[in-house]
Structures are given as structure tokens and as C-alpha cells.
Structure 1
């Protein structure tokens, strides 16, 4: 087996995690760094969202860098690719072995409140961005690389306020399956991970901060608690590991059995 096939012998494996500055993205980035990846996390332009993630990884002896990226601005993707490609020429990071399309937005409004802007923004960030970022970067990925698209348990069990959020993530799950077919001949796997209720700052930190909501969710979850960011980070890292090399085109729900 050649170095080009494994993506390892020529240098350190690199993983790109979009939206890696906080919440699930930070947990995913840390879990991948613990597995030996040089992690590059993206953050919103004109912000320092990724600083805490970089510090945490480096304090644990890992390798991490950050790059600005606006997922809604697909016109910026060619320049982003060029910048990433230059970074991959660094001896510390020779191949892009994992792409985690984690960044997303959650718009939660009732049917009567929903606007066209809500729809456009949700699909631009949650669906269009991951699709065309994957297209822009796939030629940097060697056989054996993997893509994980972060979806949500709410594609299986939505509520009345998750109209465009659930729909945009369901579209992402469908893209994951069809991309698995498209990229299979290149030896690249594509899967989606659907987190359940997790205590992060998502949706204003409701799951993290509301004891009543956590109790309700826990009482309706097979494993008896809400998720922690590490639950998702470890699941994504495992799915990108060699143990899962025969898994592609799948939706993996990491929800502890919520609302079965």
C-alpha cells in the first residue's frame, strides 16, 4: 500500500472542522486531535471564535490551526481552498484526510413567523455550504479519507418550530448518501451524524441552561440523560477512524435513544 493510499506515510493526517470554535465543533476538533490529527478549524470572518479550541488542543499536546470561512459565501471557496492547500504543503500537515461539515445555523420559528430570509439562510449554511465546500476540497483528499456531515436528530422527530432547520438538515443527510456514491470510486467515505439533544450553547443554550428541559429530555431518553458535547465528538472521531473504514452512506444518530 502506497503513501498516497494511506494518507499517512507522507506526513501527519489533517482534519478540517467547520465551525470548530465552540460547542459540538470544538468537541469534534479535540477528539480528532486526540487521535493524532492536525486539526484545522474554521471560524466566522472578523471573529476570534476558534482561539479557545486551539488553546485547548495545544495544551493537550495536539496540533491545531484556524482559518476564517463564511459558509454562506460559496464564491469564497476557491480562495479558501488555495489557502488550505498552501497549509497542507507544510511538513506538519500533508494531506486532508477528514472533512467535518459541522458549522450550521438553527432558525426556530412558528409557521406564521417564518420568513423567506430564514429559509434562504438556513439552506445556504446548512445544505449548500457543505455541498460546495466538499466539492471545492475533495481533490485534496486521498483515498481512505472521510467526510462527516453533522445533521440533527430533529430530521427524525421535528417540532412545529423546526421547519426550515429540520428540512435543511434532512437535505444534508440526503446529500451525504448520494455523495457516498459519487465519491466512493475515489475511496472517500461520506456519512452523516445526527446529534440528539445536547447541552451546548445552540439555540441560545436552552438545553444547557434549562433544568426543566433537561429533565424532560432525560425522562424520554433511553440512556437517561441529555447529551454532552464529548458524546458527539467521540462519535465523529470514531466514524473517521480505521475501524469504520467499511461504513459509508449512513446516517448515525448519536442521541442516547432520545424519543425512540
Structure 2
């Protein structure tokens, strides 16, 4: 959910078919209007993302935008396109900026018998600290059906990895589904089975709908599902928020 790119020649997670496009999320371009050189940004799809762009060749030197639609927006004036591309730093997080969570909402357990499958909760000492302090881990066998804990729109998925282990070096290999809720937060489901995602970006899902199969990919010491609710912040950061399950909605 968090990505960073530094310099045009060192772009990470980019869609190489279009120069200046980042991981199928957004494209950055430069234009000249009435002797003024500008840097611009535009979403590729109507999937919200929070982007922070900085460059010593841009005024302002850093800007954070919460992109919601495909209309082009101006990042700032630039002194030189060449210098801009080679000093540019970009970070982004899926979602909307500083969303306000609906604390009254009742979440459904994302796996059957969820209450009895919890092996790590809020403030868990193993990995639920800092930005992910409000998350829940469910110990379930690989291939367990995962359902949407809350209705929303699928804005990001990954299902290609087949690696995992009890070390942070494996974190980049987690398969996941990210669902945008109507209050701007995201429900995120991690460590899914390779090729186990049942939805695609742009799909609308309802609470209780099957969305994936659980796995053991990424930073994972045993087969489990990691679920959390997050809000996007500037500079590619994010923060988990408190939420509550409704036992009456469980299987």
C-alpha cells in the first residue's frame, strides 16, 4: 500500500509502457504554458491515491495531493524538466487523505469462526506496532475463504507471489486485497494465497462477499490472514485505526 520512487532513472514500481507512469496508478508529465514550465499529475483510473512529490527544481519543492479522479492537476512550476526528473522523489499510498473512520460501523469477521481464530490482536508484540498497531491476525489454513469485512470498492490487489517467511525481508512478497470504504478508509487483507484473489481493481463488493483465499505469503510465521483498517497519510505513510467486529454477523 506504500510505494516510493526516487529520480526518473530510478523509478520503482512503474508502468514502463508510459514514461512517468507509476504502477498503473498515476502519470506525471511536464508542460509549458505561456513561458511557464509546469509539472502535472493525472490518475490513470478513478482509483483514489495520496501522492507526495518533491523536487529541488519545483516550486513548491514538495506537495501532497489526494487524487480522486482523472482530471489533470498541477504539482508546481519547474525551472528545468531535466533537473525535475532527476531530482524528483515520489511516494504514494492507496486511499484518501486523512479519512475519518466511522467508529459506529460493525465489521464482519473476514473468515469463518473468526473470533476463535485470532492469534494476534491490537498492539500485538510480534508485528502489530506503530502504523499497524490496530490490526488482527487470524490463524487459518492456506486456502481458507476470505470475505469482505465491509462493503466498498477494490482499489488494489496483488496475487502473483509464492514466497513467505518469518523475516521482514519477505514483506514485499505478500499478496493482498485493498478495499476502499465509503468513509475513505481502506480494509486490507494480507498474506493471501498465490493466485487466490477473487476480485479485481475497480470491483464493487458487499459485506460478506468472498474476495480471496488465505495463504502464507510475505512476512508471515504461519498460515494466517492479516486484516486492518487504514487511512492514508502524506509521504507514502499510513495509519491503522480502531474498529470493532459484530459477533452477530459471524458464521
Measured against the shorter chain, the TM-score band is under 0.3
Greater share of strand residues, 1 or 2? 2
**Scaled by the length of structure 1, what TM-score is found?**
0.26
Q: Which of the pair has more CA radius of gyration?
A: 2
